[in-house]
Amino acid sequence: MRKLKAAIFISGRGSNLESLIKSTNKKNSLVDICLVISNNPSAKGLIIANKKKVPAIYVVQKKNFEKKITKYLKDIDVICLAGFMQVLAADFVNRWDSRLINIHPSYLPKFKGLNAQEQAIKAKSTFSGCTVHYVSSKIDSGEIILQKKVKILKKDNTESLSKKILIEEHKIYPRALQMVARRLLKQK
């Protein structure tokens, strides 16, 4: 069976990376994770990639970042942003249209941008959640692939909410990636 080749972009902890690797290592996965790119040399996710034997590189340079990584993406079919804290250039986003996805820790369109969990607590919202979406040139605004609501209780704070959301992130990102893979494989 032909599998799609994925690259995962990270900047830090890498827990979503880990859940994506675990899920794609399963027998029926339509995706192989072939590469991890970090913009931060001390990202813990790089250690995870190493342990799981997934080739990983870091590229710190912000200017021309997209140009610099192009050569590594030649065989890649789909890119997953997983805690990647750098805005990608519009022409790169356009080039990867429908093949570039992201996970955001809120129930979009609520709480876009940084510190989404804190935004939800401050807004005294009764729920937030997480969303996997296609990346478009507007931040956290591309078409939604999959999302999951998480209840916010009175006793919740940013930390407890982040933990609850993260548990759901680790479930929906792998599922969303398979959905995207199914769609892309049909087009091939």
The answer to the question of residue 169 lying near ligand GRF (CB under 6 A) is yes
Dihedral-angle region of residue 152 (phi above 0 means left; psi in -120 to 50 means alpha; beta otherwise): beta
- Which of the stretches 7-15, 32-40, 139-147, 174-182 binds ligand GRF when contact is defined by CB under 6 A? 7-15
Q: In 10 A of CB 111, how many CB atoms? A: 24
The distance of closest approach from Cβ of residue 71 to ligand GRF in the complex, given in angstroms and rounded to an integer, is 25
The distance of closest approach from Cβ of residue 187 to ligand GRF in the complex, given in angstroms and rounded to an integer, is 27
Q: Report how far residue 84's alpha carbon sits from residue 129's, in angstroms, rounded to the nearest whole number.
A: 19
Per CB under 6 A, which of residues 73..132 are in contact with ligand GRF? 82-83, 103-105
State both tokens at 3.
Answer: 């599998």
Number of residues that bind ligand GRF (CB under 6 A): 15
Residue 57 dihedral angles phi and psi, to the nearest 5°: -135, 160
The answer to the question of residue 174 lying near ligand GRF (CB under 6 A) is no
- Which of the stretches 14-22, 24-32, 50-58, 61-69 binds ligand GRF when contact is defined by CB under 6 A? 14-22
- Which of the stretches 5-13, 48-56, 120-128, 136-144 binds ligand GRF when contact is defined by CB under 6 A? 5-13
What's the burial of 84, exposed, middle or buried (CB within 10 Å: 0-12/13-18/19+)? Answer: buried
Near ligand GRF by CB under 6 A: residue from 3, 5, 13, 112 = 13
Question: Is 104 tagged catalytic?
Answer: yes
Residue 111 dihedral angles phi and psi, to the nearest 5°: 55, 60
State both tokens at 93.
Answer: 């986003």
Residue 35's nearest CA partner among 8, 71, 13, 17 is 8
Catalytic residue numbers, as ranges:
104
Residues engaged in binding ligand GRF (CB under 6 A):
10, 12-17, 45, 82-83, 103-105, 166, 169
